[in-house]
Amino acid sequence: MRIDYKKGELIQPNLIQLDRKSRGEEPANKKKVMLVFPPDWYPSEPYLSLPTLTAFLRRAGHDVVQKDVNLEMYDWYFSSDCLRKVLKKVPQQLDRLKKRSRDQGLTDAEVQLQLALCECTRSRIFDLIEKAERAKHIVRSSDFYDADRLEWAINTFREVTATISLVYAPARICMPPMETDLSYKLFMSSEVLDAVQDTQVNIYRDVFEHILKPAIVAESPDVIGISIVLRQQLFSTMTFCALIKEQFPNIHITVGGNTVTRLRDVLPDTPQLFSLFDSAVMFEGETALLHLIESLGTDKNFADIPNLMYRDETGIHTSTITSSEDMASLPLPDFDGLPLEKYFVPEPILPYLATRGCYWGRCEFCDHGEGYTAGYRTKKVPQIIEEIRFLKDRYQARHFHFTDESYPPALFRKLTRKLVEENMGISWETHIRFEKSLLDEAVWKDAADAGCKFLHMGYESGSERVLQLMDKATTTDVIQRSLELSSKAGVWNHIMGFFGFPGETYEEAKFSMQFLEDNKEHVHSIGFGTFDLGKHNPVAKNQEKFGVTSYKNPEWDLALDYYYTVKDGLSIEEAERVFEEFEQHHYAGWDLKIIIREYVYLYVAHFGTNKLPALQFKLPDEKDMAVLANV
């Protein structure tokens, strides 16, 4: 199924903002804007939304402050200041549990919490402070490239966040961030609103007071824009919005990003949630955000601004105008103002995007196209080369993450050849499909010589019938040969797949597993899961075709995926069991001590090889097993 991009066209010429900055002009309605990236995300590199919007707004003459609150939060977590605050909260939490014990008794989990809190002594916390600071030094220095030290640092981060969790229980604060859980349901607006006001579990209230509020006081922005990439960022975002509204009521708050776009059909029906902010930008945000900013305080009609949803005294409204940006006319990302030295890496990794949309756009499980209103677009190779060179020189950056959804084969070949010719001296990672047109040793030699170190590769399934159901348009022969070529060229391949696509049988799932096992010599790492029926993906829109029946709970208003049953093949529960089987029995060489993909990429770039036994778990040899047997 080809992605339907017919939700709008490229931006109209009358809406395009020319470069005021280069002409020395000031906008008639100049504003100060603070752009915020909220928790929770791994703090290994900047997320591209802020630098992209910053560049666009600065070119138009506005003052922009970009604030990566997610990064600053993790820097704070692993600091003396935060852990001393945790120590002060311990007696309060013990008193709370003591009172609860008198009133209604404690559950087993609360008894365990009480015992753990009693172990949070002054000496214990001060020991953690020392370890946390050392761990941050490791990930930001050359010690990073000692796998044992890096593993120790990551385990320390987990130990610290587990300790922080004790004083916010039953919330669970985690590293990696995606496991953080406030004990409220993200898929219900009523529970998100309850979480915002819960002073016991909501750590983001303290993050606001310590990080975001002082910045607002210092900068006095007219507008604050918050980028919500993942649904899990709703808790922190809505908390920030509520507190800004309470303490800085004159600031216009706008939200945007992938999650806002995917929730655009339900946001108008959640007035309580929408009351926490003033407007929302759907789809691509550059022109919409600029015109919103320049319309504030004027008599301009918000209905004329593309991609905008807004609230006024009469209710919530959605503009009927949608548009997408012209890639060639966009300024390159502006990272000025972001503390690049604070990211949890020894050298900065800069994200860069050369395309928007997906050149293939037919995978039946994928809803990436939902974020765009016009079709696939790309910058030309000379512009890409010029921008990469500029970013490299300006920020002294050698490492790049090309964040394109799937790098087009023709562009991949042309760009790698040009990078070799220009001798750019960079390393990079990107995302790619298995394509027959890339089965050429010369292509992979160019890729390796151009600095390609790590590829996220969409495997999905080793069954050709299932691949056809998915409309992947590739074969196992192409997959096998691609793995061999990338591996021999020295490029690390990270293979992504899932079980349970509607119609997939257990035998086909087993074949997918066996295919990877048979090719383990050329497969470096894996990332697997199970199929989700996303509300916007093609399967959900063509349920009869795929033999799927979805079940929607009307109370789950923010749900982005649904429970479903299938006519044929693996059910949700059966797919989960297959996944567990694969987790328990797959090739041990894929079990890495370091699972953060940006970290593996840096290791490949640093050591110049995709053979990194230091990253693998060391399995006990026969002598060790004999000793263990006698213990």
Whether 239 and 196 have beta carbons less than 8 Å apart is answered as yes
The answer to whether residue 500 sits within a structural domain is yes
> Which CATH number does the domain housing residue 237 bear?
3.40.50.280
- Residue 538 has a pLDDT of 94
Distance CA 482, CA 519 (A): 11
Whether 68 and 38 have beta carbons less than 8 Å apart is answered as no
Same domain, 265 and 385: no
Distance CA 322, CA 24 (A): 30
- Residue 628 has a pLDDT of 32
For residue 74, which of 152, 153, 148 has the smallest C-alpha distance?
A: 153
The answer to whether residue 577 sits within a structural domain is yes
Same domain, 311 and 399: no
The answer to whether residue 36 sits within a structural domain is yes
Same domain, 39 and 108: no
- Residue 148 has a pLDDT of 95
- Residue 29 has a pLDDT of 85
In which residue are the tokens 């013990």 written?
94
Distance CA 67, CA 39 (A): 11
What stretches in the chain show pLDDT beneath 50?
Answer: 1, 620, 623-631
The answer to whether residue 513 sits within a structural domain is yes
- Residue 306 has a pLDDT of 94
The answer to whether residue 195 sits within a structural domain is no
> Which CATH number does the domain housing residue 418 bear?
3.80.30.20
> Could you read off the pLDDT of 609-620 as tens digits, one per residue?
999 999 987 654
- Residue 24 has a pLDDT of 66
- Domain final position from 188, 219, 246: 188
For 517, residues 6+ apart whose C-beta sits below 8 A from its C-beta are: 586, 587
Give the residue numbers spanning the domain of 486: 347-359+366-615
Same domain, 390 and 531: yes
The answer to whether residue 326 sits within a structural domain is no
Measured CA to CA in angstroms, residue 468 lies from 365, 461, 471, 503, 579 at distances of: 12, 10, 5, 11, 21
The token duo for 87 is: 């120590």
Output 259-263 pairs: Cβ under 8 A, ≥24 positions apart: 259/228, 259/229, 259/230, 259/231, 259/233, 259/234, 259/560, 260/228, 261/370, 261/371, 262/367, 262/370, 262/371, 262/535, 262/536, 262/560, 263/558, 263/560
Whether 266 and 274 have beta carbons less than 8 Å apart is answered as no
Residue type at position 224:
I
Distance CA 546, CA 535 (A): 14
How many Cα atoms sit within 13 Å of 142 on the Cβ side? 1
The answer to whether residue 625 sits within a structural domain is no
The answer to whether residue 8 sits within a structural domain is no
Same domain, 108 and 120: yes
- Residue 624 has a pLDDT of 42
Same domain, 441 and 515: yes
For residue 40, which of 69, 70, 68, 67 has the smallest C-alpha distance?
A: 70
pTM for this one? 0.94
The token duo for 79 is: 């600091």
For 148, residues 6+ apart whose C-beta sits below 8 A from its C-beta are: none
- Residue 400 has a pLDDT of 98
Instruction: List b or e across 29-45, with b for residues whose CB sees 16 or more CB atoms inside 10 angstroms.
Output: eebebbbbbbbbbbbbb
Same domain, 136 and 68: no
Q: What is the DSSP string of 52-75?
A: HHHHHHHHTT-EEEEEEHHHHHHH
In which residue are the tokens 């005294």 written?
313
Element (H, E) at 109: helix 108-118
Q: What is the DSSP string of 11-25?
A: PPGGGPPP-HHHHT-
Same domain, 241 and 296: yes
How many domains does the chain divide into? Answer: 3
- Residue 296 has a pLDDT of 95
- Domain final position from 188, 209, 243: 188
Same domain, 461 and 570: yes
Same domain, 33 and 82: no
Same domain, 124 and 149: yes
Same domain, 145 and 225: no
